[in-house]
Amino acid sequence: MTSNQSDSTHIEEAPVVLISGGSRGLGLSLVDKFLDMGWRVATFSRSKTAEVEQREKEYGSSGSARFVWLAVDSSDEDQVRLAVKTIVKSWTRIDALINNAGTGNDGLLALQRMQDVDQLINVNLRSAILLTQLCSKSMIRNGRGSIVNISSVNSVRGHSGVAVYSATKAALDGLTRSLARELGARNIRVNSVAPGYFESAMVGELSDDAKKRIQRRTPLGRLAESDEIAEAVYFLASDQGSFITGQVLVVDGGLTC
């Protein structure tokens, strides 16, 4: 067997993870973590970033691809269905799903437009339910799998101005607990990770005073790095968390304790 054939065989045996919204921020950190651990990684987002292009050059070479990016609007059901079908056809299975794609929209509920409410529900919740439904079919056929939903501390603590966002994340946690019961007998684990405030585009919009207030309220005295959130997600998605299911792991530096 040549070295190229050996590399190809090794890659074909690597587990497969689908990460929604992996082009930037936490999603990109998740992509990097799973790639570093030797997984085959598929992700999608609406647009391609320079970071995605770099991963394609490094991991997406012809014949030995370990990274695939697809252009998908997560609120478009047909596009999501086609993406999952494409991944399963290429790599025969999906071992883990990370429901990371999401959007935020601050504002008092009484003043929000229903079209903005619908967008939050469609992107944060409906698309995650659809992805889970599609990927769980592959996992059931394979007799094992892991699903991790990216929730939020807003699902466990109330904050003004994020009522609908919080509702979508709390719904993900409810989905997690019920699906853990539903899929446990199929050897499929379902968990949530609820990040606190971490360095991201959303936090970048906060004023310096707001960031300092958050840091003062956080026992560890700082914001998280996205890599720290990714470590927790990988733990739950991989065999390291093989006897953990139906749980919401809060990663917030003690903010909600």
pLDDT digits (tens, 9 = 90+) for 98-113: 999 998 877 888 888 9
Question: What is the set of domains in the chain, with CATH numbers?
Answer: 3-198+226-251 (3.40.50.720)
pLDDT for position 99:
98
Compute the distance between CA of residue 252 and CA of residue 38 in angstroms, rounded to an integer. Answer: 27
Please tell me the predicted confidence (pLDDT) of residue 5. 45
The confidence score (pLDDT) of residue 3 equals 44
Model pLDDT, residue 167: 95
At residue 211, the pLDDT reads: 83
Q: How far apart are CA 178 and CA 146, in angstroms?
A: 14
Output the pLDDT for position 186: 98
Can you tell me whether residue 106 is helix, strand or coil? Answer: coil
Low-confidence ranges of the chain (pLDDT < 50): 1-6
Catalytic residue among 59, 165, 197, 234: 165
Query: Does residue 234 have an active-site annotation?
Result: no
pTM, two decimals, is 0.92
Q: Which residues neighbour 192 within 8 Å (Cβ) at sequence distance 6 or greater?
A: 148, 149, 150, 151, 155, 172, 173, 176, 247, 248, 249
